[in-house]
Amino acid sequence: MDKAVISMEKIPTTPDSYIMKMGRRAGVIMHLSSLPGDHGIGDIGESAHAFVDALADMDVAVWQFLPLGPTAYGDSPYQPLSAFAGNANLIGLHQLVELGLLHEPELSSLSQLPREYCDYGHLIPAKRELLREASRRLMKRRGGSLMAEFEEFLHRESSWLHDYALFRVLKSLHNERPWPEWDPSFVHRDHAALETAKREHREAIDTVLVTQFLFDRQWRELKLYASERGICLFGDIPIYIALDSADAWARREMLLLDDEGRPSNVAGVPPDYFSEDGQLWGNPLYDWAYHEQSGFEWWIERMRHLARQCDLVRIDHFRGFESFWSVPYSETTAKNGEWIPGPRDALFKAMKNELGPLGIVAEDLGVITPEVDALRLGQGFPGMVVLQFEAGDPEFEMDSIDANSVCYTGTHDNDTTVGWFHGTGDDTRTPEEVLASQELVLERTGGSPETIHRDMIALAMSSKANLAVAPMQDFLGLGSEARINTPGTTKDNWRWRMQEGDIDAALAEQVAEMVESSSRAP
């Protein structure tokens, strides 16, 4: 079988999207942190390489994961501290032992952490200390290939890296408070104050630089390993950046912020069927006039960076490019806002002129207007269909799913299929609604309550969508206890982990048969 994967940077000019050129394929959603492993969290080293092997055994050709950026309070990958940096918690430690930057006995502090879930409170400080020691050892080296790689990395990523390193050190010096609450000299990026901080905290800055280098180095190894085995890496980014991020601190001119770093208006979505107050996200809004005047330079660099990491990328809240909901900063709900035109085609035209055709999947869930559909279709971007939202609707027709789309059983924001089917967890449906949904889903799938996870995956794979994806929890048949995120809450999210041996030979064979029978084998 030819399992070659086309890099997003090398797709020839064509009106077809990446997934249309890829052909019918099956995929899985599995965040890096959820992988099994020895050190309290999944990583981009041995954990990820082993998962790539498992995917190849299952003939699952697409691996979708959540944003890779460094997390802050709440551990959400959707509020990263940088649009470019990597999450240091995901660095594989065995590789650092192989490089001589750590010694095996030093890893014992992490080997004692739970394997069933991520205990971030203990993981983060322990791993930070190990990475600090690895950084010290690398910086003591003089010459050699690894130091040459490091110096090349510093040059290649200079547009964001040094600001990010200084941001992280200053944030630590201010007890992790958001940057608008720092000393005014740092809020306003006073040149003398920043230069003094660089001199006085050189070692701490070097630690951040080395850590980012190690993340980048391991990710490049993973990208090559996945490509050699025919596995497409499918990334994910939020449309907005966090106010408490290096990007907002260093590039505030691209946002609607005042001199003190306060946003005039913030992002969200208006009230709908699911929320009478709407959703007030609080992210600062882009100054799209500035972006257009700059030729969308920052967005182009963001997509170029992602193209080196992934073959595909899903952009969360795609509808914000057509029009976005702007809420005054003083509001406590998203009720009182207004729709403001977004950059629309101009942004994607600028990206394509610089980067060529884009491997973008548009998150177009919720209330979508004809104008948003026109923007997506005009660019040829695939949209999303989530069967947990649709399969229980008697008016929904599977034949309505377009080939240029991604069909999911559920996403990281949904309960597992087993939990959803049984109405467990934090389900807001009435018992009558759950029962009605169950009856219709069983009719659609021809399955049973005991096999509903496999039946829903088979339904997604039977669709016309060129890419059918299910969370790993659905392949494993797990219930609500394995849910990774409940939107609108901050407790116990992003903690679930798969266990060693969960993907055994029987499961691999079963999944491969499903993939083959739906004509999705590579």
Amino acid making up residue 312: L
Q: Which of 316, 331, 373, 502 is catalytic?
A: 316
Instruction: Please name which of 197, 195, 202, 206 lies closest in space to residue 154, comparing C-alpha atoms.
Output: 206
Q: Which helix (H) or strand (E) holds 353?
A: helix 345-355
Q: Which of 221, 354, 390, 413 is catalytic?
A: 413
Is position 413 annotated as part of the catalytic site? yes
Is position 297 annotated as part of the catalytic site? no
State whether residue 28 is helix, strand or coil. Answer: strand
For residue 187 the two structure tokens come to 């809020």
For residue 288 the two structure tokens come to 């799209």
Alpha carbons 510 and 499: distance in angstroms, whole number: 19
Lay out the sheet containing 265-269: strands in order across: 279-284, 265-269, 323-328, 338-341
Is position 316 annotated as part of the catalytic site? yes
Amino acid making up residue 330: S
Alpha carbons 249 and 164: distance in angstroms, whole number: 9
Q: Which helix (H) or strand (E) holds 215?
A: helix 202-228
For residue 119 the two structure tokens come to 């205990």
Q: Which of 75, 236, 363, 415 is catalytic?
A: 363
Alpha carbons 156 and 304: distance in angstroms, whole number: 12
Phi, psi (degrees; rounded to nearest 5) at 62 = -130, 125
Alpha carbons 421 and 437: distance in angstroms, whole number: 8
**Active site members:** 316, 363, 413
